[in-house]
Structure 1
Amino acid sequence: MAVLHQSAGYSLACLTNIYSETPEVIRSALLAEGVDVEAHPRPSQAPIAVTMKRLYDLKLSIDRVGWLCGYSYGQARKILLGTGVQLRQRGPSLETEVDVKRLVKLRKSGLSIEACGRDLGISFGTARNRLLDAGAPMRPEPIILARPKTPLPASVVVDLHLQGYKNDHIRKLTGRSSSFVQHHLARAGLPARVNPDPLGIDTRTLVAVYRRVASSRATADVLHISAGAALARLWESGQDILDVPDPDAAPLHIPGQDPWQRRQQEIFVRAAKGQRASEIAADLRVPVADVTAVMRIYQHRDRTTAEILYRRTQGERPGVIAIRMGLRLDRVKAVLGKYTSRPRRSTPLTKSPTQQRNRHVHRHHC
């Protein structure tokens, strides 16, 4: 914070948005570092490379340094190399930087080592080494369940559920279908799970999201989990695979705060105060084109339509947009289909000799 405030000239309001803290917390932290917060912050005469080097020396990653200064990973890495800094080896090197307990739980749940590492933001090699150090099995032992010759009664379904068996295991042990298991568990007033999910996933919320988007990948994006984990929980809960969203399901609103949203809010606050696009870009250390794009797309008279279009430009799927904004998926798709479809070309680029001759004859008769 001190580097950004003194060297880069970031205001308290900007630091508040970056670190998602209250102004009092930011002010106290700066005062503890001996920073004069009463003085108006002014950027130093040093180039941005000096600020980036100072941030990188504070053990921040290249991604984080680039995000704070408004540059991509590649641009930030190039600037740091230009300053002569010795880049650190990528990936976590300390045991405390990896949530080993969650990594082991992910692996025991049946996910591959690559999927486990992707969930925690680490490489395959790092995930494998941490699992070996923790003594976790590289190949989880499969659970072999024998299916009975004749289906068992519904009372066995409830008994197995109360003993902690998963719905998928109950289905195999009783020889019943997923719908049969779900129906009789619902009649007994039992939830989808007896014990809490070891991955911290709320199965009811996951199913509710899936029913509204009919996409396991969009469901995984909304809940910040892997697609494999989402599919495993949907299968376990007995949810059938849907081709289209459930028309009877009401819209679901699960907001999320991404870095681009905080920057977007800062742009609008500064624009409301009368700052020009070039001034906002200089203060936030972002390209002018990004600022003008945000301001231009939000000049649409329909703010809902504008936000749908902007979220799409940020790479969000239609299902994720619907859940984040609390809209129906068909409305989101209708807006995207209306404003992102390519216009048809009315005339060909080149005309044939016959077309040119007919056009000449038409003009002559006229």
Structure 2
Amino acid sequence: MQFGIFSVGDVTPDPTNGRTPSEGERIKAILAIAQKAEEVGLDVFAMGEHHNPPFVPSSPTTMLGYVAARTEKLILSTATTLITTNDPVKIAEDYAMLQHVADGRVDLMMGRGNTGPVYPWFGQDIRQGIELAKENYALLRRLWREDVVDWEGKFRTPLQGFTSTPRPLDGVPPFVWHGSIRSPEIAEQAAFYGDGFFHNNIFWPAEHTRRMVQLYRRRFAHHGHGTPEQAIVGLGGQVFMRKNSQDAVREFRPYFDNAPVYGHGPSLEDFTEQTPLTVGSPQEVIERALSFRDTVGDYQRQLFLMDHAGLPLKTVLEQLDILGEEVVPVLRKEFAIGRPANVPDAPTHQSLRSAGNGRDVREGSVA
């Protein structure tokens, strides 16, 4: 099972002192956090994509390319890549290039995004978001899997005899997760292609997460990719830890109360009760994370949000030390206990290359 972190790249004032980092400071902090993730033994670093304040990561591949040059083992991913407002041709080229730069340590998460104004900024209509996601992804798959593409659709100009360059490393496209919080159509899309489904359950109660993942698992099996238990599932969440729970709650409360995505809504206590947000001791984080398996079954990837809401870099790095030294080693051991032999690991470039010789071994059942 893979463990890692993701960043949404918000630039938020520190509520304890009122200081707001510059965009440059925040970008450099994210890069330091990514490198720290490898240092403490995590498997994955994922970078969000946003094109509006107060967020800075408008070019995830630029940031991930930098991280690739300064790490050796870390899998570089996105959280998410906007399949609706990015041109599939540019996605195909950018992430194939990143594959080569990172020696295959790349996958990506497709999503529609959660900021409505982004659509017209890139010439699209949010009311067509699901249709855009379907058509653009279907084209992206062809661009990665066919050397020469003739294509015509609804949302972009036709392609005639087009070859996307560079070609995917070793002829193996990056593995794709489809990220969604609330859209069953996206769970269906992931299941149809036999791709991964990432449910960022950061805002939602366990029962909603259960229903979404169960839908994906059933449809994965329906489309002939394996049993429901063999579907590839990832989860998100946020944690904040100190040795004593009371210290964690006291320190994190002002950040929660003023966070762009949390603040000015339910209380910290209500949110931690109703969602996966866990603020407490390392042992409490371990117990909460282990409970996710009761909700969704054995799964492949767990990502934590660590740097949101104006937390200073020093604090985030301390959190990563705790995560890497005290939490993840226990989770690796505990999640392995009783894990059925037929539950696959998360796909990697190496495993896909070995299994498919440069082609998606699941594709034949949905062609």
Whether TM-score is above 0.5 comes out as no
The structure where helix makes up a greater share of residues is 1
Name the TM-score, length of structure 1 as normaliser.
0.26
Report the structure number with the largest CA radius of gyration: 1
